[in-house]
Chains A and B, each alone.
Chain A
Amino acid sequence: MSAAGGRDGVVRDVPARRPPARTGEPAIRIEGLSKWFGDFQVLRDIDLCVEAGERIVVCGPSGSGKSTLIRCINRLEPHQRGRIVVNGIELTDNLKNIERVRSTVGMVFQHFNLFPHLTVLENCTLAPIWVLRKPRAEAQAIAMRFLERVRIAELAGKYPGQISGGQQQRVAIARALCMNPSIMLFDEPTSALDPEMVKEVLDTMIMLAGEGMTMVCVTHEMGFARAVADRVIFMDEGEIVEADTPERFFGSPKNERTKRFLGQILHR
């Protein structure tokens, strides 16, 4: 189990998922999604619905297609077959639609991907100013609010190269939140961090979960999955092998591959 599991204390901090406001259309609807890299099929006929406010943790061995799956949700990767509908907008080659989806879906990357030539504050105000066309002062006020929420407001004037990995990842989360997204995607947000910095990032994500944000997280932090996930999805070889509540997923996994994976990851 990872160092920052957050198993104690955090479980009680996160309320059970709010009853979803059932408007008919889920936040993310994926039907029959398949994707190839050249001849290699990375995703095989994936079906997945994520309701508004739902928190999903996606896990699986490396190469299982889990990162590719969430990168399809904001079309960083194009898919070849099936449908992806995000907030009622279907992702196709239509650039306008892609940009609309991206401005409502926040993404946090494994390697933070902060803009090194901009200060922390400028990282957070760039997209609100240039995509949402907010006035500079308003964008800065919003950014400072989120930087305070992730408890690094004092770093606003620093450049990414001057702060630690954990701090950078929290800036990345704040940067995404400044766009006021309705969905947040996390692509292994803690795997590039030194162990002592994992907790500060997970705590930030747990805080977000507590506020009812729709989240899809690719992560191996099983403590986090137990604490906040409404559903845990296990992927292997491009397929969803098992999807269940954390209690049943960790307590009584049904599939052999899931059991083997959990055996490897939990008894490390």
Chain B
Amino acid sequence: MRANLFSSWGNTLLTLALVAMLAWVLPPAIDWLVLDAVWGRAPAAACDAVRGQGACWAVVAEKFRFMLFGFYPYALQWRPAIVIVVLCTLLVVSAIPSFWRPSLALVWAAGIALAFWLMGGGLGLERVRSEQWGGLPVTLILAIFGVAFAFPLGVLLALGRRSSLPVVRALSVVYIEVIRGVPLITVLFMASVMFALFLPENLRIEQLLRAQIALILFVAAYLAEAIRGGLQSVPRGQYEAAAALGLPYWKSMGLVILPQALRVAIPSIVNSFISLFKDTSLVVIIAIYDFAYAVKKSVETDFSWKPYFIEAFLFSIAVYWAFCFAMSRYSQWLERGLAREGRA
């Protein structure tokens, strides 16, 4: 403690200054956030009474159904609630290495099928069009499918960019550079407008699917570069040893090169996943109501709760942060585990 905080005059001054600042900022912050806040279900009038002194968490309690599910029919909201639980359970289970076996793919397929059945209805459940979907399930679906499809596409693009076939290499380079040079919002707009122009009248793709495809195409370009960095870190001798054993290209990539490259690229890959998770909130510009938008809408539309939009936003920040922080910690844990078993 002494060595860390008071090792020199400069450090001592800095320490005292920081302590003073914390003493100045923390107590009122804690007062507002916790002690003087209105917790649980309470009428808006209760919040008006302590306005300026305490946070109004009652807004979250009041509006959380709309925040989580958006315009999904109120009576049917148990369905997206189950979807959230199913998807989160799948994510947690998939994070545990001892569950990494082929059957996990089947579990995912079943989970996804269940999620879409619950969201969309049919087969005995009342139909809910995807235009009515909203809130956290939409965010989770966009993020999970984004990862699931962008990742393999990114691997292919990274390999393509290093291919010895000039056509494959050129196509990969053009794709990556074009997509990376364009804002996500424009890609979303293009997906929203262009698909409708190109595809025949009877093959209308739903708006949500268009947004999903745009996200996948966008993130894949970034992932490709992250993975290419990993590929470059694998020594040439590894390629040669795999070739010398007679392993054909795809087997040598899949069994020897990619396992090493992806390990190195984990931090940048997770970086892209975290970006993807947050970027899903941009789909609002093509009228898809994800979690962030549902939170905004929930307070905007209700005059008596409108003043408490800060608390509502803090809630959505906390939710996004929890997901992103979990991803970050998980990737660190994964890296440490792999480092232990790999090159000692």
Q: Contact residues of A with B, CB < 8 Å?
A: 74, 76, 95, 99-100, 102-103, 105-107, 109, 111, 113-117, 126-127, 130-131, 159-162, 175-176, 179
Contacts and interface: CB of A to CB of B under 8 A. Distances in A.
Given A159-B344, A161-B344, A162-B344, A109 B246 contact: no
B247 A131 contact: yes
Q: Determine the main DSSP class of B at the interface with A.
A: helix
B168 interface: no
B342 A117 contact: yes
Interface of B: 235, 237-238, 240-248, 251, 255-256, 259-260, 263, 341-344
A116 B343 contact: yes
A72 to B, nearest CB: 13
B241 A161 contact: no
A268 to B, nearest CB: 28
Given A107-B241, A109-B240, A115-B260, 6 more contacts: A102-B246, A115-B242, A115-B256, A116-B342, A126-B247, A176-B245
Contacts of B241: 107, 109, 113-115
B231 to A, nearest CB: 14
27 contacts: A74-B244, A76-B244, A99-B246, A100-B246, A102-B243, A103-B245, A103-B246, A106-B244, A107-B244, A109-B240, A113-B235, A113-B240, A113-B241, A115-B241, A117-B259, A117-B260, A117-B263, A117-B342, A126-B245, A127-B245, A131-B251, A159-B343, A160-B343, A161-B342, A161-B343, A161-B344, A179-B245
B251 A130 contact: yes
Given A99-B248, A116-B342, A131-B246, A109 B255 contact: no
B244 A111 contact: no
A57 B259 CA distance: 36
Contacts of B255: 126, 130
A100 B247 CA distance: 10
B247 A127 contact: yes
Given A74-B244, A127-B247, A111 B237 contact: yes
A131 B237 CA distance: 19
